[in-house]
Structure 1
């Protein structure tokens, strides 16, 4: 069954150690031969992120929760889906943070939330065993994560703004950095680092006098769970775009003072049918192009646009 794939609302709680654990990063494992991934980032005493399950189908779901350092226990539930194929259900999780010589692990069980699917869950009340190993500290983000961070930071800023000034303090306060900006920069920096580590496979160089281009991205024939991050001149245009049968449209401005514009697709996964593929339709002025882009975990798909003077 594809009930694992879905979202963890992890309750991770109070600290009992002198040094706080940070579980931010990407955690991966295989359950029944299928990929299960948890991506989380720490914001205060809360974690936000998403889970992704990929096998004969796929499921991506939002994540939010907390960690109890005293018991090293992670407990959670799935708030909502982002995208999925048929047969997936929201789950609750009971996991334990377990450091080992081979790495850091989250080990425990997943339980189906939805009553109808519980009847068909062969694992019953015990749940399905989950073993996730931390694959790295890098994370990416989703709209849910960004919205949650912005909403909660706005509340924090209101408290700061409503404080009465200390009449005994004559030192000007330091400027307060915005956590959403810092988090967004951290996400983009980690994605840029991944892009830089991989080789560039230039699909085509297009010479154009157009001041903007329209690029449409859709799956090439079979929808198999591919996701990509799209860059324009090292700037993230869209993060972890699910490449589906429904075209995704991006408008890119081409500044004349920049002679060459670089458009890059970075594979976030390989889907169920490697490599990561997408059909690109490009409109540059009156010209129209169609390209098949293929990328994997070692190379990026690149299109160059040279400005015709």
Structure 2
């Protein structure tokens, strides 16, 4: 069996300890994403990555995000994305792109003391908006001191414990408001039971659009007697109701907000959708790469299951959950479980009349 240079170095690091500690993905990385100077602090926790990113033109002009991602040690493929904007300093001059990134890269070791992340990036919320190449190199230290430095400096002497990593992540992480913003991927609750699955079926008929009510013009009012005033008409009688939008119009007219990213490492992908918390009549539609897959999905405490084949997907794919209604307790919320091979991923999804929930599936 042939091992890549990085894989071999990772094995050596486990055997020989501190001499190869620097040869891991955990650490500080410097370089560029697109044309923007970038510093990353990546921390491996199981197969997941946590940390922070800085996009800067100087020490006093930068944007800082918390980041999340995944690392596959078998293929050395890395995915990470900007999760929540933590800090913005300066006037933003020198930034050609101010939206959060999603990056896909190869972790490689061309030399004994050289480690690289090389790949490509895109707008986090739009895979079609490519933002340029990823060119990062492992660095000895950071130019931006923060709470993650403790983990990087002590990773092999206890700071790699999941509880320590989670605690450090919570220092700077400010949970985004729900539902406004939808900037972060929240940690979902664990499903207590495994409810029976319902087969995903495309409804035989399309939803019937409700015709727009016609407002009749009232006849001319007769002259009122002196001393008697005309009754005040309700403003609703002169207000036209908005036309009913089709699901395609809702999909096209709403902003997509990334909720999570799922690495595709197996042929079969099983998606289970539940109502999050209280069942209140939420109904959703699912679009894959711009094409409607399913509609009129009623969310309940039992899962609605969708199966996808990796062979039908591209390298990068967008699944969008559109709210058909908001239920009795807005916004429209879903708890999604994704089973990919032997891996399980969970996420809460939020959608309303302005935004739809975006999940990206990236092949590794």
TM-score in same-fold range (> 0.5): no
* Shorter-normalised TM range: 0.3 to 0.5
TM-score by length of 2: 0.35
- Rg larger for: 2
TM-score (norm 1): 0.40
